[in-house]
Amino acid sequence: MKLEQKGLSVLEKMLRTLEEGFANLPEIPGEIDFEAITPILMETAERLQDNYPYFHPLYAGQMIKPPHPVARLAYMLALYINPNNHALDGGRASSHMEKEAVAQIARMFGWETHLGHLTSGGTMANMEALWVSGSLNPGKLIVASEQAHYTHGRISRVLRLPFQAVGTDNQARMDLSQLEELLKTGEVGTVVATIGTTASGSVDPLPEILSLKEKYGFRLHADAAYGGYFTLVGNLREDTAAAYQRLDEVDSIAIDPHKHGLQPYGCGCILFRDPGVGRLYKHDSPYTYFSSKELHLGEISLECSRAGAAAVALWATQRLLPIVRGGEFAHMLEKCREAAIRLHEKLSSDPRFVVGFPPELDIVLWAPRKGTISEISRASSRFFEAAADKNLHLALAILPAKFFEKSLKDVERDAQEVTCLRSCLMKPEHLDWIEQIYGIMDEVMKSEKV
Ligand SMILES: Cc1ncc(COP(=O)(O)O)c(C=O)c1O
């Protein structure tokens, strides 16, 4: 069985228990017309066949990870209530679950106090961080690296804040001397440190950025949408671990439970170290906030309606798999990282490939070796297609050729950028599939297609 189905019988039991909570209500007359619904749902199932097999270990491409069954089932159960975590009026239990789950995430970063909530994703989480920064430092520059997610430049435009990208080193990490040059102008209000870049999982040098913060003074936001949970793992490189150790000193953190936190899409999270920034969110709502004097999450969130089901799923997942060092969840991430190290090593010792720098998290970059960078780019695209024909699904990325510096001996540099292959090894099962994945790569190289 490829798509888990046993959970459906658990869902039935959960539903009966949920319904008991409403036993004192009169029955609602009326039947659902399953004759009308069923053919449309069957058509829906057929339409959804047109997808890459994201749930399978042979999907080793984009940042897509299947939700844990506990998250999926908790989410499905919550849908029968469909709570709205804007206010306690709309989702009492799920709002409490959100506060508990978010506090656990804050604690994972070493924050005993915080202000935070779930968002629809990393974009909104980062948007709230930049909005708070911009409110505290109006008109000042937002700075992120060229490898930061594109969202920062675009959000800055939405917020009408000036934005400047700074270059990176050969491992896609923010160039500190370029950053310092900008800081010297006195115009910088916020620096965004990416803790796990989208393309390569690179981690900006946080200890050094914190030293610059002390010298020049600016707000520091960590975009840990992808890499945040790696703070729990024990098999990071020393330089990477040094960044995670100082993560509690930043002003705000964005992290996406819907990336590495085993959640369905629609689950990002923003955390602020100083709960006092809550004052910036202050607004009156004539419609809500009547049911309790307790904090309603809508009072500290830019989004109004938010899926209570997302909070329920996250809460249940963290009950099963506490987000602590040495726990099973941490161990699962360690396996992803180990898978990436192994794949990188295998590719590095195979002269048929050029490889990117050693992975900091669980993303691997490589390409078929050819005589020029342009030929490598064309071969990567052919490799991508040929691997997909053999059921191995990878991703392509266009990146600075300098990320392959150590591997480009005897390659003519006829372009600055190279199209390469990229694998986000986000499933712990990837570790057991590395031989098989590599075997398919070997077959692809032996075929005449690349
Ligand atoms: C580092 C980083 N920040 C932000 C985002 C945007 O997050 P979302 O797609 O959840 O809006 C991503 C998405 O890949 C990311 O990798």
What ranges do the domains of the chain cover?
79-320, 328-446
Q: How far apart are CA 21 and CA 274, in angstroms?
A: 38
With 0-12 CB in 10 A as exposed, 13-18 as middle and 19+ as buried, what is 214? exposed
Q: Ligand 1 centre and the CA of 224: distance in Å?
A: 9
- Encoded tokens for 216: 């020049």
Q: How far apart are CA 163 and CA 143, in angstroms?
A: 6
Q: Which residues of the chain have pLDDT under 50?
A: none
Q: Which residues line ligand 1 (CB under 6 A)?
A: 63, 121-123, 126, 149, 151, 194, 198, 223, 225-226, 256, 268
Q: Ligand 1 centre and the CA of 123: distance in Å?
A: 6
CATH number of 79-320: 3.40.640.10
> 176-184 vs 206-216: helix axis angle to the nearest 10?
10
Q: Ligand 1 centre and the CA of 268: distance in Å?
A: 9
Are the CB atoms for 360 and 203 separated by under 8 Å? yes
Given ligand 1 and candidates 62, 123, 197, which is best to mutate, with the most ligand atoms within 8 Å of its CB?
123
Q: In sequence order, which residues have a C-beta less than 8 Å from that of residue 441 and are 6 or more positions away?
A: 347, 387, 392
The pTM of this model reads 0.97
Amino acid 403: pLDDT: 98
Length of the chain: 450
Provide the b/e sequence for 88-98 (b: ≥16 CB within 10 Å).
Answer: bbbbbbbbebb
Amino acid 294: pLDDT: 82
Residues paired with 80 in a beta bridge: none
Amino acid 296: pLDDT: 87
Task: Please compute, for residue 447, the number of CA atoms within 13 A of its CA located in the half-sphere on the CB side.
Answer: 16
Amino acid 433: pLDDT: 98
What residue has token string 């040059």? 181
- Encoded tokens for 428: 């712990």
Q: How far apart are CA 227 and CA 387, in angstroms?
A: 27
Q: In sequence order, which residues have a C-beta less than 8 Å from that of residue 214 and are 6 or more positions away?
A: none
Amino acid 295: pLDDT: 84
Per CATH, the architecture of 328-446 is what? Alpha-Beta Complex (3.90)
Amino acid 206: pLDDT: 98
